[in-house]
């Protein structure tokens, strides 16, 4: 069931793993009453999901301690200082795991952001968001680039206007405006989108969850342009999952429907948000630091530099958590009444022992969840180089490089005055998503390269995409320096490692995603791998999972505190009759009405 703001009330939802089931009116923006409960909660992990859970729990009077591996909070979302780069009273140059963006269909995370105070902002850190107005799909070797406007329509479709033929026309008009696909291929893709839009939930969770996006859009039969733009460009470049294995259900629901189609039409969005938004300063300055300060004001304690070794289980409950310093020293056991495991899945599952896994089989199924590398490189430039007012997708890049010029959005900062030694005027933040294909400079995969070789290869692929059509956007002399995510180690050696990979979504992933509530009464899961409605490794999914974990904890406690509201992805009511027809057809073993093969 989709839940949205109605009038001037904020509704509270009694939500478990299955979605919203009840509501109670509350003033807009009002926080839950922080009546002390006497209950202690240990939150394992200080990324987006852990901080989200800590905020919801602290607002409800729980005593919360967050245990975080790093010496800073924010997980993959944080920004970080480039060591020894700030002079003359300036801050160090800003680095990051990779650029953050906040699509307009995010609604759970923006609600949290509105409740984080920020000086001068009526809506907290949410007012630090800025809209990108276009996306650039850059092509190599002088091929014409593709520009997609990202502003939502000024006149949204009226109720009843959304029909299959109308949707098809909208898709074709966008493809005609922003691509050079053959007409027959554009029409075929529009029809495939209609198939997914009108498929019932059962077909999506069975047939389409088991079907790769590559197979669903029949990419193998189509032109190279079709495969690059609608296959690779929508999967590997955006979520680090290869189109040949990516789940059609996930790609169709989140990227095609929520992000692109409904985003352009302004349906199911965060207020009047546009499709693409970024922060107006480095992430930690604009969001994470104010968040941690707010949580401390609510009484949340943080134990930084703490590694979780094992979640201890006996007698049907979690009895404690064995932790230590990162180097293994100072090992001890911490205890609480409840435990929220909010670490990334690749770290969380290492802490679940045999007895705990036996108590809840869904924990063991998490071993089947897959991750891949999606790592950032920042280039510091001597000239303001915005390129485009939004994100850049280097479509032909063998390493699936994406990027954004950041200074243009940092309107509360003067880059050269505020950062570094005064010479850098911009930061071009790039992400390498494909680590197993040879590059254009050294002929090696990213995993085979040294750190310096990765930087030079990434720069070469950016230049190949952007220095064309009679213009030179990037020059070697303008590049003053670079920074690469330090979570990747051992590059150039026999066993490179990445401590912060990204959850990917091959077919069948849905069946292995656990619920926030476990069979262990005092253990709850939060993280972008937990089953949520958004069903994608995103900050929105991390935040939604935390809300579900807190709601399950409140249910277990028999608490009368307000439940966390949960927003689900937009479902147009106009298409529900067609989905009901498809449900009948699916039960009869028939294809979707629009599925012509």
| Per-residue pLDDT at 14 | 30
> What dihedral angle (degrees, nearest 10) is formed by the CA atoms of 168, 171, 176, 180?
-110
Given a cut of 80, is residue 501 above it in pLDDT? yes
Residue 454, C-beta contacts closer than 8 angstroms, at least 6 positions apart: 377, 432, 446, 484, 491
Average pLDDT of the residues in 462-484:
92
Q: Any alpha helices (H) in 467-588, and if so which ranges?
A: 539-557, 576-587
Q: What is the pLDDT of residues 240-257, one digit of tens each?
A: 788 999 999 999 999 999
What DSSP string describes 368-423?
G--EE--EEEEEEESS----SSSEEEETT-TT--EEEE-GGG-TT--HHHHBTTS-
- Rg over alpha carbons for the chain, rounded to the nearest Å, is 24
Least confident of 33-47, 422-436, 468-482: 33-47
Sign of CA dihedral 414, 417, 419, 422: positive
The residue among 33 and 328 whose pLDDT is bigger is: 328
CA geometry: angle 414, 420, 426, nearest 5 deg: 50
What are φ and ψ of residue 593, in 5° steps? -55, -40
Residue 158, C-beta contacts closer than 8 angstroms, at least 6 positions apart: none
Least confident of 72-76, 255-259, 304-308, 339-343: 255-259
Edge-to-edge order in the sheet of strand 306-314: 306-314, 317-325, 332-334
Q: What is the pLDDT of residues 116-169, one digit of tens each?
A: 999 999 999 999 999 999 999 998 877 778 888 887 776 767 767 788 998 898
How many Å apart are CA 32 and CA 30, to the nearest integer? 7
How many Å apart are CA 456 and CA 464, to the nearest integer? 12
| Per-residue pLDDT at 32 | 45
How many Å apart are CA 546 and CA 64, to the nearest integer? 14
How do 25-26 and 10-11 pair as beta strands? antiparallel
- Bridge partners, 502 (sequence order): 372
Given a cut of 60, is residue 487 above it in pLDDT? yes
- Cβ atoms of 521 and 317 closer than 8 Å: yes
Other beta carbons within 10 angstroms of residue 22's beta carbon come to 10
Q: What is the pLDDT of residues 185-225, one digit of tens each?
A: 999 999 999 999 999 999 999 999 999 999 999 999 999 98
| Per-residue pLDDT at 432 | 96
Confidence of residue 469 (pLDDT cuts 50, 70, 90): low
């Amino acid at each position: 069931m989709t839940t949205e703001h109605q009038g001037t009330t904020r509704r509270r939802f009694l939500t478990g793993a299955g979605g919203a089931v009840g509501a109670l009116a509350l003033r807009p923006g009002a926080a839950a009453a922080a009546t002390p409960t006497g209950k202690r909660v240990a939150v394992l992990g200080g990324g987006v999901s852990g901080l989200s859970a800590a905020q919801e729990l602290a607002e409800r009077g729980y005593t919360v301690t967050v245990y975080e591996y790093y010496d800073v909070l924010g997980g993959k979302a944080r920004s970080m200082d480039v060591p020894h780069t700030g002079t003359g009273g300036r801050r160090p140059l800003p680095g990051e795991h990779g650029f953050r963006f906040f699509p307009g269909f995010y609604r759970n995370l923006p609600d949290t952001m509105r409740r984080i105070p920020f000086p001068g902002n009526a809506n907290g850190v949410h007012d630090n968001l800025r809209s990108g107005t276009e996306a650039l799909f850059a092509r190599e070797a002088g091929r014409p680039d593709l520009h997609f406007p990202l502003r939502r329509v000024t006149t949204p479709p009226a109720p009843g206007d959304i029909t299959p033929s109308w949707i098809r026309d909208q898709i074709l008009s966008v493809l005609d405006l922003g691509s050079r696909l053959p007409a027959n291929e554009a029409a075929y893709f529009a029809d495939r989108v209609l198939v997914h839009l009108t498929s019932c939930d059962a077909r999506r969770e069975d047939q389409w969850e088991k079907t790769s996006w590559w197979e669903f859009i029949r990419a193998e039969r189509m032109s190279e342009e079709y495969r690059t733009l609608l296959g690779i460009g929508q999967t590997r470049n955006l979520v680090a999952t290869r189109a040949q294995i990516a789940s059609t259900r996930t790609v169709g629901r989140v990227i095609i429907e929520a992000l692109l189609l409904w985003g352009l039409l302004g349906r199911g969005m965060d207020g009047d948000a546009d499709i693409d938004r970024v922060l107006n300063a480095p992430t930690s300055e604009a969001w994470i630091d104010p968040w941690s300060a707010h949580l401390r004001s609510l009484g949340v304690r943080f134990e930084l530099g703490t590694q979780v070794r094992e979640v201890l289980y006996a007698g049907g409950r979690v009895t404690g958590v064995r932790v230590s310093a990162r180097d293994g020293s100072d090992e001890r056991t911490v205890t609480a009444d409840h435990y929220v495991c909010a670490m990334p899945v690749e770290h969380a599952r290492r802490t679940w022992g045999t007895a705990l896994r036996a108590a809840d089989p869904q924990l063991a199924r998490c071993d089947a969840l897959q991750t891949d590398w999606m790592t950032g490189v920042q280039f510091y430039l001597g000239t303001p180089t915005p390129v485009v007012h939004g994100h850049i997708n280097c479509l032909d890049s063998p390493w699936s490089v994406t990027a954004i010029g950041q200074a243009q959005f940092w309107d509360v900062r003067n880059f050269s005055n505020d950062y570094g030694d005064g010479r850098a005027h911009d930061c071009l933040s790039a992400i390498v998503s494909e680590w197993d294909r040879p590059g254009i400079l050294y002929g090696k995969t990213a995993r085979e390269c040294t750190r310096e070789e990765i930087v030079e290869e990434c720069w070469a692929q950016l230049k190949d995409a952007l220095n064309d059509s009679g213009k030179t956007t990037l020059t070697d002399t303008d590049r003053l320096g670079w920074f690469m995510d330090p979570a990747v180690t051992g590059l150039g050696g026999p066993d490179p490692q990445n401590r912060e990979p990204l959850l990917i979504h091959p077919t069948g992933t849905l069946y292995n995603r656990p619920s926030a509530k476990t069979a262990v009464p005092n253990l709850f899961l939060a993280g972008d791998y937990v089953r949520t409605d958004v069903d994608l490794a995103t900050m929105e999914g991390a935040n939604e999972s935390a809300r579900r974990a807190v709601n399950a904890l409140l249910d277990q406690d028999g608490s009368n505190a307000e439940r966390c509201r949960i927003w689900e992805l937009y479902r147009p009511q106009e298409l529900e009759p067609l989905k009901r027809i498809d449900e009948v057809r699916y039960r009869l073993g028939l294809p979707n009405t629009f599925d012509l093969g």
